[in-house]
């Protein structure tokens, strides 16, 4: 067994495959931003506390600043750049624009990726810390402002755009339920 400090990895980012040689210390966030030009994910705290670097890893939201690139070898990564469908913004992205879901915009890529992941978790029936009845036999938890705030608490917004972010997420959720 050789103890190499670098690794050859494959990352599938927004549908495109990248072959990279990385220092094992490289985080997924740095690999995306510095190595592949995906500057959508932002480096806020670099400690997993702010959520600005949130991406979807194999469909689930994670913080890319605490994910080692080498540990993501072979994974599907979706960044904010990959959310739009052939140039057409997603309903969530449109709702953020229409309802002023941001001010400076720095946290927005993380907010968007987190909300996409969160809505999928909710659709799968996952309860949250504010769900009154977590029994799997009862009705699925209804998404209201309290649920959205709890489920999105891993994404900080220094501008304090939270009320509009909550509205944008709820607006998207209700629309998706109509079309489902």
Partner 1 sequence: MKEFAYHRPSQIREALTMVVGNEGAQYLGGGTNLVDLMKDGVEMPTRLVDVRHLPLDGVRAAPGGGLVIGATTTNSDAAAHPEVRRRYPALSQAVLAGASGQLRNMATVGGNLLQRTRCAYYADPSQPCNKRSPGSGCSAITGEHHNHAVLGWSDHCVATHPSDMAVALAAFDAVVRYETLDGTHEIPLSEFYLPVGATPQHETVLPSGALITAVSLPKSAVSPRSQYRKVRERASYAFANVSIAAALDVHEGTVRSARIALGGVASCPWRARVAESVLQDGAATADKFRAAADAELSAAKPLRDNGYKVTLARNLIEAVLTELAARTK
By CB under 8 A, residue 125 contacts partner 1: yes
By CB under 8 A, residue 23 contacts partner 1: yes
The least distance separating partner 1 from the CB of residue 100, rounded to whole angstroms, comes to 23
Candidates 1, 16, 87, 88: give the one binding partner 1 (CB under 8 A).
1
Q: How far apart are CA 84 and CA 98, in angstroms?
A: 16
The least distance separating partner 1 from the CB of residue 145, rounded to whole angstroms, comes to 12
Would you say 129 or 178 has its CB closer to partner 1?
129
Query: Rg of the chain's alpha carbons, rounded to an integer?
Result: 17
Residue 162 burial by Cβ neighbours in a 10 Å radius (0-12, 13-18, 19+): middle
Residues 133-152 that bind partner 1 (CB under 8 A): 134-137, 149-152
Helices 91-98 and 108-123: crossing angle in degrees, nearest 10, is 130
The least distance separating partner 1 from the CB of residue 88, rounded to whole angstroms, comes to 26
Length of the chain: 180
Q: How far apart are CA 70 and CA 8, in angstroms?
A: 8
Q: How far apart are CA 21 and CA 9, in angstroms?
A: 6
With contacts defined by CB under 8 A, name the span among 13-21, 29-37, 44-52, 167-175 that binds partner 1. Answer: 44-52
With contacts defined by CB under 8 A, name the span among 30-38, 46-54, 83-91, 161-169 that binds partner 1. Answer: 46-54
By CB under 8 A, residue 179 contacts partner 1: no
Residue 165: which of 91, 130, 115 has the closest Cα?
115
Burial profile 42-74: b = 16 or more Cβ within 10 angstroms, e = fewer: bbbeeeeebbbbbbbbeeebbbbbebbbbebee
By CB under 8 A, residue 63 contacts partner 1: yes
Q: Which residues bind partner 1 (CB under 8 A)?
A: 1-5, 7, 23-25, 27, 46-48, 51, 54, 60-63, 66-68, 70-71, 73, 114, 117-118, 121, 124-129, 131, 134-137, 149-155
């Amino acid at each position: 067994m050789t103890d190499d400090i670098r690794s050859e990895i494959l990352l599938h980012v927004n549908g495109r495959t990248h072959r990279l040689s990385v220092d094992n210390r490289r985080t997924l966030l740095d690999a995306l931003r510095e190595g592949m030009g995906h500057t959508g994910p932002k480096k806020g705290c670099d400690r997993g506390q702010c959520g600005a670097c949130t991406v979807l890893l194999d469909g689930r939201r994670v913080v890319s600043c605490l994910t080692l690139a080498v540990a993501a070898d072979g994974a599907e990564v979706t960044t904010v750049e990959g959310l739009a469908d052939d140039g057409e913004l997603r309903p969530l992205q449109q709702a953020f624009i229409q309802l002023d879901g941001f001010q400076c915009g720095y946290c927005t890529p993380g907010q968007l990726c987190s909300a996409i992941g969160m809505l999928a978790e909710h659709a799968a029936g996952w309860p949250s810390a504010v769900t009154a009845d977590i029994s799997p036999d009862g009705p699925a938890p209804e998404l209201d402002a309290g649920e959205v705030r709890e489920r999105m608490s891993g994404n900080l917004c220094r501008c304090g755009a939270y009320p509009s972010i909550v509205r944008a997420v709820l607006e998207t959720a209700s629309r998706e339920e109509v079309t489902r």
